[in-house]
Structure 1
Amino acid sequence: MTVFNKRQVGNTKLIVSELGFGAATFGNLYRPMPDSAAKESIIKAMELGLNQFDTAPYYGFGLSERRVGDALRSYDSSSYVLSTKVGRILEPCAKAEDKYGFCSPMPFEPKYDYSYDGVMRSFEHSMQRLGLSKIDIIYMHDIGRVTHGDDHDRLFKIAMEGGYKAMDELRSQGLVSAIGLGVNEYEVCEQAMDHGHFDCFLLAGRYTLLEQKSLQTFLPRCIKENSSIILGGPYNSGILATGVRREGVVPHYNYEPASKEIINTVARIEDICGEYNVPLAAAALQFPLAHSAVVSVIPGLSSADRVETTVAQMQHKIPAEFWTALQDAGILYPDVPVPSTLP
C-alpha cells in the first residue's frame, strides 16, 4: 500500500490523506460510467492509501452518493473520511434527463435550499442514499456571488441564519465531525467566516499554478482561524492535466474554453515542465500542498487506472529548480510557498 502523508483537518480529530478522491464523475459527469468502474476505482484508492472521499447530492442527482456508499459499505467506517454537501434538495421529476453535464438515470431535479430545514432534510436524504453509518464532513454547496449573481445577498442571508445553524447543530451533536463550504469562490468563504466557525473549505480551482490571488488574504486567515483547505479542481477544469498542445482537445479553464491568455500561460508552464522533465499534472497536484493551510488535494477520479496514474503523479520527484523557474517566469507569486520549502 502507498503511504501518503496525512494531515489534520482544523481542530477536529479527522486525519486525511494528502490525496483525496473526488466523485463527481460517479454522477456520470459528461459521460456514463458503469457501476463496476465506480466500485473498482474506490477499491483501488483504498488499496493505494487514499482515505478521503467527496461526493454530493448534485453529482448525478443522487447517483454519485449511491455509488460511493455501495463501494465504501464493506470497509470499516474508521478507515475513511467521507464528505458530502448540503444546499440543494433533490425533487422527483417525471423522468430522468441529461442536464447540468450529468448523464444520469436518476429522475430528480436539484433545487437550491440553504434554509435550516433544507440543510437538515439534505443531510437525512444523503444518509439514506449513501447507506452508511456516518458522514464526516458536510459542505454548504455552491453558495456565492459568481454562482447566484444578484440573488446572492438574499441566499447568503438565508444560508448564514438558517443553514449554518443547522450545520453547527449537526456538528455539536456529533452527527458530523466538521462543517465547511464547498465552492469555487474564496471570497464567499471569507464572507462566511464573519458569521461562524468553519473547520474546512473545499475550494475548487482558486489556489493553483494558474491562480494564487487567494494567498493575499484568505489563506492567511485560514491559518489564523485554524480552518483547513481541501483543494478541489487542482487542474483548473482540466487545462493543467491535458495541457494545451493535444490535437483535437479544446483546453478548458474554469468550466469553459480557455482564453488565449490562459492558453499562453499554460504553454509557458509546459515549456518549463519539459525543461525539467516534470509532468504538468504532477506539478499541479503537488504545488498547493506546500501551503500550510492546505491539507489535501482532491482531483476527480473516474477509474482504477486513473487512481494509479494520479498516485504516481503525486509521488513524482520534482526538483527545487523547477519551482524557482516558475517564479522567475512570473507564473507563481514570488513569495508563494513551494514544495521544496517543506521540511
Structure 2
Amino acid sequence: MTITLATRRRIASTALELPVFGFGSAHLGELYGKVDEAHSRATLDAAWDAGVRYYDTAPWYGRGLSEHRLGGFLRTMDRGSFQITTKVGRTLHRPKDPSNFDRSPWVGGLNFEVNFDYSYDGIMRSYEQALQRLALDTVDALVIHDLDAGFHLDKQAGYEKQLVGGGIKALEELKKSGDIQAYGMGINNNAALENTATLVDLDFCLVAMPYTLLDQASLHAGMATCQKRGISVIIGAPFASGILVTGSSGPAHYAYGTASPEIQAKVRGIEAVCAAHKVALPAAALQFVLAHPIVASVIPGAARPEEVVQNIASLQAAIPAAFWSDLKAQGLIDSQAPVPGAGN
C-alpha cells in the first residue's frame, strides 16, 4: 500500500486515528541552535501548506518555547482540521534568578525552571499549563514524558509510585470525560520500553531511540510486548537524533549526543547499500519504521522549511525490495524486521 500524508492509522482500540506522518516540534525549542521567529513560522507554514495535519510538542522543548510557537500558529486554524499531542510530567515555573538562569541543554528556549511531577495534581497542572501555552482548549492525546531512570536516578522509583498511585488516574479521567482521546508514554531506551511502559495501561508509546533503522534491539522485546498488549507506537526519532539525515560524514548526532565510532561504521554500511540502490538514507529511515504493524505514525522534526519538504519527499520516495533484502543479508538490520512492501 502506498503511504501518503492522507494515510491514517488507529491508535490501539481508541477512536483516535492519526496521519502516518506528523511534525515533531522539538527543534523549535532550540536544542542544537537558535531558530528565529521568521524561520519558525516559515517552517510551520511549509508543513501546513504541504498537508501536514498532526503535530507533537512538549513543555520540555525549549522550556515552553515550542508549545508557544506551535500554539501561536495552530490557534489560527480550524480546530477540527488538525491533531496535536503534548506531554505531561513536568510543570514550568519562574526561576529564582532569571538573569543567571541556565537553560541547558537548550541552546535557546525560555527562562523557566522545570519541576517533575507525575502525581494526579501534577499531571492535571501540567495539562492545564500546556493548554495555556498552546492557546488551545483541547489536545488529542497526552504523553507521560521522560519517566526515565536516566533523568531521575535514585528518584525514579518515587516518580513511578506517583504515576501508579495517582497520575494515571488523572489521564484516565481526562480520557473518560472526552478531554483527550488517548494517552501514552514517551520512551527513550529499551529498558524503559520493557519495564516502565508496563507499569500502567497505555494506548500507545511514543518511542524515540529504541526502534530505528540503526537499532532494532527492541524488536523481540519491548516492541513485541507492545504488540501483545495491543499498544500502538508513534516513532519520535526516526533519524536517530540526526545521523540518519546527515550521514556518517556530517555532525553525526546520535541518541542526543555524538555518535560512537561503531555507530558511524554501521551508518557507512547502510550508506553503501543506499548508494548501490540509489536510495536516500533519510527515505530509508522514515519508511523502515512505518513498516512495523504497530507503528501508527512517525513525527520527524524540522527547523527550516526545506527540511519539511525533504521529509515529505523521503516518505514518498520509491525504494526497491532488493534494498531491504541487501540490508538484511549484510546484517545491517534485523533479519526479522518488518520492511516496506513485504506484507507487514
TM above 0.5: yes
Following superposition, the deviation at residue 50 of structure 1 comes to 1.7
Is the 1:186–1:203 contact (alpha carbons within 8 Å) kept by the matching residues of 2?
no
Alpha-carbon distance change, 168 to 186 in structure 1, aligned in 2, over 3 angstroms? farther
Paired position in structure 2 for 1:113:
117
What secondary structure is seen at the aligned counterpart in 2 of 1:230?
strand
Paired position in structure 2 for 1:327:
328
Following superposition, the deviation at residue 185 of structure 1 comes to 2.4
Which amino acid is 1:235 matched to? F
Is the 1:115–1:162 contact (alpha carbons within 8 Å) kept by the matching residues of 2?
yes
Is the 1:160–1:192 contact (alpha carbons within 8 Å) kept by the matching residues of 2?
no
Supply the distance in 1 between the matched residues of 2:129 and 2:68 (Cα, whole angstroms). 11
Following superposition, the deviation at residue 264 of structure 1 comes to 0.9
Following superposition, the deviation at residue 34 of structure 1 comes to 2.1
Is the 1:209–1:284 contact (alpha carbons within 8 Å) kept by the matching residues of 2?
yes
Pick from 166, 177, 198: which aligns with 1:162? 166
Paired position in structure 2 for 1:95:
98
Supply the distance in 1 between the matched residues of 2:170 and 2:218 (Cα, whole angstroms). 28
Supply the distance in 2 between the matched residues of 1:100 and 1:193 (Cα, whole angstroms). 27
Alignment of 1:293-332 (within 5 A): 293-332=294-333
Paired position in structure 2 for 1:183:
187
Pick from 46, 49, 53: which aligns with 2:48? 46
Alpha-carbon distance change, 160 to 186 in structure 1, aligned in 2, over 3 angstroms? farther
Identity percentage over the alignment? Answer: 39
Following superposition, the deviation at residue 187 of structure 1 comes to 3.2
Supply the distance in 2 between the matched residues of 1:193 and 1:109 (Cα, whole angstroms). 26
Paired position in structure 2 for 1:27:
29
What secondary structure is seen at the aligned counterpart in 2 of 1:124?
helix
Alignment of 1:1-343 (within 5 A): 3-93=5-95, 94-95=97-98, 97=101, 99-104=103-108, 106-246=110-250, 249=251, 251-342=252-343
Supply the distance in 2 between the matched residues of 1:202 and 1:243 (Cα, whole angstroms). 24
Following superposition, the deviation at residue 150 of structure 1 comes to 2.9
Alignment: residue pair count: 339
Supply the distance in 1 between the matched residues of 2:207 and 2:298 (Cα, whole angstroms). 10
Following superposition, the deviation at residue 89 of structure 1 comes to 1.0
Following superposition, the deviation at residue 3 of structure 1 comes to 4.2
Is the 2:29–2:109 contact (alpha carbons within 8 Å) kept by the matching residues of 1?
no
Structure 1: 5+ residue runs without aligned partners?
none
Structure 2: 5+ residue runs without aligned partners?
none
Supply the distance in 2 between the matched residues of 1:266 and 1:85 (Cα, whole angstroms). 31
Q: Describe the superposition over 1:102-158 as per-residue Cα deviations: whole angstroms up to 9, x where unpaired.
A: 233522111211111111111011111111121111111101223322322222111
Alpha-carbon distance change, 259 to 3 in structure 1, aligned in 2, over 3 angstroms? closer
Alpha-carbon distance change, 186 to 50 in structure 1, aligned in 2, over 3 angstroms? farther
Following superposition, the deviation at residue 305 of structure 1 comes to 1.6
Is the 1:287–1:338 contact (alpha carbons within 8 Å) kept by the matching residues of 2?
yes
Alpha-carbon distance change, 37 to 159 in structure 1, aligned in 2, over 3 angstroms? same
Following superposition, the deviation at residue 98 of structure 1 comes to 5.1
Which amino acid is 2:268 matched to? A
Supply the distance in 1 between the matched residues of 2:81 and 2:190 (Cα, whole angstroms). 30
Following superposition, the deviation at residue 342 of structure 1 comes to 3.5
Supply the distance in 1 between the matched residues of 2:248 and 2:84 (Cα, whole angstroms). 34
Q: Describe the superposition over 1:280-324 as per-residue Cα deviations: whole angstroms up to 9, x where unpaired.
A: 111011101111110111111112221111101111100000000
Supply the distance in 1 between the matched residues of 2:34 and 2:120 (Cα, whole angstroms). 34
What secondary structure is seen at the aligned counterpart in 2 of 1:11?
coil
Supply the distance in 1 between the matched residues of 2:331 and 2:139 (Cα, whole angstroms). 41
Which amino acid is 1:163 matched to? G
Q: TM-score, normalised by structure 1?
A: 0.94
Moved more, 316-325 or 192-201: 192-201
Is the 2:103–2:109 contact (alpha carbons within 8 Å) kept by the matching residues of 1?
no
Supply the distance in 2 between the matched residues of 1:98 and 1:68 (Cα, whole angstroms). 23
Supply the distance in 2 between the matched residues of 1:84 and 1:133 (Cα, whole angstroms). 13
